[in-house]
Structure 1
Amino acid sequence: MALAPGLDPDIAEQVAHVPTDPGCYLWKNAAGEVIYVGKAKNLRARMKQYVMLTDDREKIPLMMQLVAGFDYIVVDNEHEALVLERNLIGQYHPYFNVDYKDDKSYPYIAVTQGDLFPAIKYTREKHRPGTRYFGPYTDARAARETIDTLRKICPICSGTCAEWKRVNRLLAKHSDDADIIGLICAQKGRPCFDYHVGRGPGVCAGMIAPEEYAKSVRRVERFLSGQRRELVGELKEDMAEAAANLDFERAGRIKRRLEVIDGLDDRQQVVFPTSVDIDLIGFYREETIAGACVFVVREGRTVRSCEFILDKGLDVAEEELVSGFVKRYYDETADIPSEVDVAVDLEDAEVIGEWLTAKRGRKCALHRPQRGEKRHLLEMCERNARHALMRYMMRTGYADDRTNQALLQLESALALDEPPMRIECFDISTIHGRFTVASMVVFTNGRPDKSQYRRFKIRTELTEANDFVSMSEVLGRRYAPERMADERFGSRPDLLVVDGGKPQLTAAMNQLEQLGLDIPVCGLAKADEEVFVPWDDTPVVLPSGSASLYLIKQVRDESHRFAITFHRELRDKAMTVSVLDEVEGVGPTRKKAIMRHFGSMKKLRAASVDDIAAVKGVPRAVAQAVYDTLRA
C-alpha cells in the first residue's frame, strides 16, 4: 500500500516499530510543533492508518504532507489515553484538533472549598486545586446574575469582599486557632455591607459557626448542580422550625428565599415530566467553523444554555467534531449529568462514558435520541447553534474575510489576471436526452447573485444524454454577440466554470474559440474535486478545507441545484398530461372535476357513461366522448 504523498519513508519505518499498547500519539511538523494529538487502543495500528492513508478523513492527506516527526506516550488502558489526550490538546493546542475558535477563557462560578469559610466568586481563572467550578457560562451577565440570586437564597461570602479577605488572612496566619479568630471577629469585627442587606452570613463579625456556614455552602453547591428540590425541602423545614420556635423574623427571611426560587422556576421551561439530569448538545457547521449549543437540563428543567464557536466545521467528520467538543467541554466543567445526548453515534462513546462516570462518581452515558422529546430538544439545540454561529460571523466579518481569501486564492491557483469578481457556472440536467435543460448561476464578489441566474431549454434533438452537445449549445447561446450586448445578462465573466472534467472543459473551449472570446475557463470534476484548466493536463488540486475550494464547490453545487429544479418542473408538468387532454370539451376545470370525483384513472376507466355524466359540470355528450376515448 502506498505511503501518504510527501511523507518521509523513514517515518513509516519508525511507525512500524511503535508498540501495540494503548496510548497517545503526537504528529509534529518540520519546526517540531505538535499539529495533531490522537489516542488509540493500538498505537501502531492507528498510526499506520495515517502513513498509509487508509484513514478516509479529508484532512489527513494535507496533514501528513506537513508531518516531519512524531512522539507517542504509552498508558495502561483507553480511559487513561482519553484523559492524556485531553491534557495534551490543552497543552499544545494543535492546529488539526477541534478547539474553541477564539480560545478565550469562559466565565465560571467558583466555590473556594479549600477555605474554612468558602466564598463564591465569578472567575475566568484556570482551575485551581481546592476550588470547585460550575459552568462554563458563555453569558457573563447570566453568571453574575446567578451569583446575585443565589446569595439571596443562601447567604454566603463573596470572594470580592474585603472583610472576607481580612478574615482569611487571619486564618492563614493562625490556621490552628480558628475558634479564637472567631471570637476576635465577634469582638472587633465590623459587619460588611452584604451582611446588612441579607446576602452575607456575618463571618467578618463572628456571627456564624464554621459548621453552620458549611451547611450553607453545601446548599449553594446543590443549587448550582441543579438539585433544587432538595434545597427547597430543607428551607421549608427550616422555616417550619423557626415558626415553631416563634422566630418569625427568621421564618420570614426563609420565606422570601423560597419566593426567589419560585420566581426562578417560573422562568425556566419544563421540558420533561420526570426529574432527569441531561445535557443536550447540538451543532451547526460551516466550511471551517461551527457553532455548538449545550442545553443543561436538571430535574426536568432547562437551567441554562451555553453557546460556543469551534475552529473546525465541514472540514472534519461530524463524529470527530462532536467527540472533540465533548472532551473539551467536560474536561473544564464539574457539572456532569447522568446522560449526554448528541446527534451522532461516536466510535469512542463507551470510553468517553467511562471517563465521565469516573469524573462524576456516578453513572454517565452518551446517548443518541432518535425520537420523542429528547430528539425535539436536540433539534432546538441545533437551531440555537446555527443562530450563534451566524451572530459570530456577522460580528467578526468572518464571511467577508473568507470570501476575499477565496477570490485571491483562485486568482493564484488558476493563473488569472485578477480576482474573479464575477463567476458564471453552467450545468446540464437530463434523463436519457429527454427534458434536457441547462442552468447558469452567477456569483458576484463571491456571493450568489440570483437576479442574474438564467435557465435554458436545450433545443437540439437528442436521443440520449449528451452533455458535450448540450454544453456547446448553451454556451453558444449565452455568449452570442446579442447576449453579450444584452444588459439583462450582465457583464463579461472573470471566470467560467463548467461542471465536469477534461471533456466538458474541451467542449467549452471549442465553443468560446468559435465565438472569438477569451474568457478564463475551468472544469470541476465531482469525483476528487479536481479543477481542470486549459493550460495543463494535470488538474489543479485546491487544498482541502481552503476557502477557494469551498467557494468553487458552492458555485458548482448551486448550478446543479438550479438545473435539477428546472428539470423537475418540466418533467412534472409533462407528467400531468393525460389522455383526458385529448378529449374535445374537457378543459383544465372539467379534467380536475372528473379526477377529483373518481380519484384515479383506474376507477375512471371502470365507470359507465352515466357515472361520468353524474360529475358536476360534465354534459352527457362530453361524458360519452370521455368514455369512448378511454375505450379506444
Structure 2
Amino acid sequence: MDTSISQGLNKEGLPVQSIVAARTATPGDLSLLAEQVAQVPTDPGCYLWRNAEGEVIYVGKAKNLRARMRQYVTLSDDREKIPLMMQLVASFDYLVVDTEHEALVLERNLIAQYHPYFNVDFKDDKSYPYIALTKGDMFPAIKYTRERHKSHTRYFGPYTDSRAARETIDTLRKVIPICSATCAEWRRVRRMLERQLEDAQVIQMICAQKGRPCFDYHVGRGPGVCVGACTPEEYKQIVRRVEHFLSGHRSEVVHELTDEMQLAASELDFERAGRIKRRLDVVRGLDDRQQVDFASSIDIDLVGFYREETIAGACVFCVREGRTIRSVEFILNKGFDVSEVELVEGFLKRYYEETADIPAEIDVGIDLPDADVIAQWLTEKRGRSTRIHRPQRGEKHHLMETCERNAHHALMRYMMRTGYADERTNQALLQLESALALPQAPMRIECFDISTLHGAFTVASMVVFTNGRADTSQYRRFKIQAELSEANDFLSMQEVLGRRFAPERMADERFGKRPDLLVVDGGKPQLSAAISQLKELGLDIPVCGLAKSDEEVFVPWDDTPVVLPTGSASLYLIKQVRDESHRFAITFHRELRDKAMTVSVLDEVSGVGPARKRALMKHFGSMKRLKAASVEEIAEVPGVSMLVARAVFDTLRASQQAITT
C-alpha cells in the first residue's frame, strides 16, 4: 500500500474505501498486469500507473475501474500515447470512492501531488499571480500575491501577466479606496488589533486622535483606517464592492457610486461628488477599452486551445456582464500526443481548481464526455449552477474562434521566447540520425512527392529542409515527361530522381548540395523506385519512405518499418517535410489542370485569341468567376465586343452543361 497516498487522502477527508498496490511486473508485461486488473473492483475511483522505479507516470479516473484499466492492458484504448506508456508500466495502485464526482476531485489532487509525465499540466508549472483580499482581518486589505493556501483569504485570478494583476489593483483603488497589505500604517493597525481584538473600538479612537495618515489616504486611494476615518461596518461595504468589481460585476458598483454622487450633490458637497465622478469615469473608461461585448449581460468563460505536436496554448476569456474583463494565457505540456478531449478536460480541472471565479457557463470548442461530471464539481464549488457548453453559431462561436487565435499567438510567443522550436529541431535531427542509422545528422533533407489524375497532368515536387527548417528557395517542381495511360508512381519517381540527381543537376549550384537524407512520400514501392534509380546513377544517399496511413518509415536495410515514437520531435519533423512536399506537388498539379481546362474551353470560341484570353482572365481573376459572369459583364472587358462576349458565354454554358450531364 502506498502510505503517502493514504495519509494524504485521510487528511483531506476524501471518502477512500480501499487502496491496493499491484505486484511489480516487468515493464511492458501486459499479461501479468491483465491478471492483476481482473481483480480490480468495478467501483468508481482513480488508478495510478507506475514505472519500474515506482514513480507515478499517469493518473486517471473511472466510473468502472476494472473496465477502464482493462482498456489499457489490452491496448484497446485508441489514444496514441497508450502503447508507449504501457511499455513503461510495471505496477499500479487504485483508490475506490463512492461517486464519479468524488473520483474527479481525487484525480485532480493526485495529479497535483505527483505531477505524472503523461498527464496534461501547465508547461511552466510555477505559481501564478493572484489578487487577494485578506478576509480574515477586521479591515481586509488587497494585495498582489502568488500564494494559494490561506483559508481566510479570497483569491482572484490566476493572472498570467503579473503587470496586468498589478495594474488591476492600481485601477481598482482609484475606483474603490481600500487598504493595501503593503501599507506600513495598515500593518501597524493590524498588529494592534491582533493583540487586543476585544478593544477594537478603543483602538479606533486612538487612531482617530493620534493616528498617522498614510500616503494612500492623502491621494484618495485609502479609506483612512489608520486615522479612524472608517468604521468596520463602512469598511465591509468597501470590501463587498471590491469583490463585485474583481468578479466583473461592475454595474452594481456603478449604480451605488452614482447614487452616492447624486446624494453628495444634493447636499451641496460638490467636492465629494467630484471625487466620486472621477471614480465613475475610471470605470467607464475600462468599459470603453473593451473590444468584445455581448448584447446580453451574461457571465461566461470561453476557453480556446491551439496544439502543436507536444505542446499547446490555452486562452481563457472571462466575460462578466457581457464584457470581457480579463484574458489569461497558458502553455500546456501536451499537444497532439494526447486526444483533444483529454487536453481540454485536463486543463479545465487544473484551471478551475485554482480559481474561485467560476461563471454560470464555460464554453469550449468540443463536446466533452465528462461535461456533466465536471459541471457538477464546479456547481458544488461555486454554490450555484454551472454548465459546460459548446457554442456552434452566433456571437459565442465567433468569440470562441478569437479565443483560439489568441491561444495560437500565445503558443508562438512562448516558442520564440524560449527557443523551444530550435531545441525541438535539434532533438529531431539527432533522433532521425539514430533511428534511421544515418552517418550524420540530416542537416539537408530533400523530399519528393508525385501528384497525378489518372496519369494526366502528372507532376513531382521537391522540397528542401535545411537545419530542420523549410528552405523555400531550394524548392523545385517537375512535369513528368513520360507518357502515362494511368497513374504510375514507380516510373514517375524514377524519372524525377533521375533528373534531379543527373550529373548536370548535381553540378548546378541552383539545386544546392547533395542531401543528407532523401525522403519519398509513400511506402515500399516508392522506396524501391528511389533505391533503383540511385543505384543506376551510382549514388549512395540515405533514403527512406514515409507511408501516410500509419506514419511508418520504410528503410532499405530492414523489411520491418521504423516506427518513430508518437509525439517525438523526429516524427513531427518528418511528417512536416512529407506534408509540405504533398502541398507543393498538389498545388502545381492543380495549376496545370486549371490552366489546361481554361485554355481548352476558350480555344473553342471564335474570335478569342491569346490577347483576349489574357484580358478575360485578368479581368475576372479565375475561370469560376468568368463562368458565372453574364454576357454584359463579359462585354465590359476591354477589347471584347458584345458579339464575342455572347460567343464566350454560350461556349462556357455549353461546356458546363456537358460536364453536369
Q: TM-score if structure 2 supplies the norm length?
A: 0.88
Q: Which residue of 2 aligns with 1:607?
A: none
The amino acid that maps onto 1:233 is: H
Verify the 8 A CA contact 1:5 1:65 in the aligned structure 2: yes
Q: Which residue of 2 aligns with 1:222?
A: 244
What is the CA RMSD across the aligned residues, in angstroms? Answer: 2.7
Verify the 8 A CA contact 2:433 2:440 in the aligned structure 1: yes
Deviation track 1:576-600 (CA, whole Å, cap 9, x = no partner) reads 244652466442566787999x987
What displacement does 1:7 show?
3.1
What displacement does 1:242 show?
3.1
Q: Which residue of 1 aligns with 2:575?
A: 553
SS at match of 2:46: strand
Deviation track 1:261-305 (CA, whole Å, cap 9, x = no partner) reads 122222223511111111112211111111111111111111121
Q: Which residue of 2 aligns with 1:302?
A: 324
Deviation track 1:493-519 (CA, whole Å, cap 9, x = no partner) reads 000111122222122111111110000
Q: Aligned partners of 1:199 and 1:615: how far apart in 2?
A: 77
Q: Which residue of 2 aligns with 1:255?
A: 277
Unaligned runs of 5+ in 2: 1-24, 632-639, 656-661
Find out whether 1:447 has 2:473 as its counterpart: no
Verify the 8 A CA contact 1:4 1:61 in the aligned structure 2: no
Unaligned runs of 5+ in 1: 605-613
Find out whether 1:20 has 2:46 as its counterpart: no
Q: Which runs of 4+ in 1 moved over 6 A?
A: 591-596, 598-601
Q: Which residue of 1 aligns with 2:222?
A: 200
Q: Which residue of 2 aligns with 1:461?
A: 483
Which of 613, 616, 621 aligns to 2:642? It is: 616
Q: Aligned partners of 1:616 and 1:253: how far apart in 2?
A: 74
Q: Aligned partners of 1:432 and 1:500: how far apart in 2?
A: 17
Q: Aligned partners of 1:580 and 1:191: how far apart in 2?
A: 88
Verify the 8 A CA contact 2:205 2:228 in the aligned structure 1: yes
Verify the 8 A CA contact 1:496 1:521 in the aligned structure 2: yes
Deviation track 1:306-352 (CA, whole Å, cap 9, x = no partner) reads 11111111222122111111111111111111111111111111111
Q: Which residue of 2 aligns with 1:336?
A: 358
Q: TM-score if structure 1 supplies the norm length?
A: 0.92
Deviation track 1:184-207 (CA, whole Å, cap 9, x = no partner) reads 333443222211221112222222
Which of 86, 100, 105 aligns to 2:108? It is: 86
Q: Aligned partners of 1:6 and 1:312: how far apart in 2?
A: 23
Pair 1:364–1:588, CA change in 2 (3 A): farther
Q: Aligned partners of 1:503 and 1:270: how far apart in 2?
A: 54
Q: Which residue of 2 aligns with 1:211?
A: 233
Verify the 8 A CA contact 1:590 1:618 in the aligned structure 2: no
Q: Aligned partners of 1:46 and 1:35: how far apart in 2?
A: 17
The amino acid that maps onto 1:68 is: A
Q: Aligned partners of 2:274 and 2:559: how far apart in 1?
A: 86
Q: Aligned partners of 2:644 and 2:458: how far apart in 1?
A: 37
Find out whether 1:264 has 2:313 as its counterpart: no
Verify the 8 A CA contact 1:493 1:519 in the aligned structure 2: yes
What displacement does 1:522 show?
0.9
Q: Aligned partners of 2:460 and 2:26: how far apart in 1?
A: 39
The amino acid that maps onto 2:537 is: L
SS at match of 1:465: coil
Q: Which residue of 2 aligns with 1:33?
A: 55
| Equivalenced residues, count | 614
Pair 1:35–1:236, CA change in 2 (3 A): same
The amino acid that maps onto 1:59 is: K
What aligned pairs does 1:464-503 form with structure 2 within 5 A after superposition?
A: 464-503=486-525
Q: Aligned partners of 1:573 and 1:57: how far apart in 2?
A: 44
Q: Which residue of 1 aligns with 2:140?
A: 118
Pair 1:147–1:473, CA change in 2 (3 A): same
Deviation track 1:38-87 (CA, whole Å, cap 9, x = no partner) reads 11111111111111111111111111111111111212212211111111
SS at match of 1:76: coil
Q: Aligned partners of 2:441 and 2:469: how far apart in 1?
A: 14
Verify the 8 A CA contact 1:593 1:616 in the aligned structure 2: no
Pair 1:619–1:252, CA change in 2 (3 A): closer
What displacement does 1:406 show?
0.5
Deviation track 1:198-229 (CA, whole Å, cap 9, x = no partner) reads 11122222222111111100000000001111
Q: Aligned partners of 1:580 and 1:123: how far apart in 2?
A: 72
Q: Aligned partners of 2:651 and 2:253: how far apart in 1?
A: 79
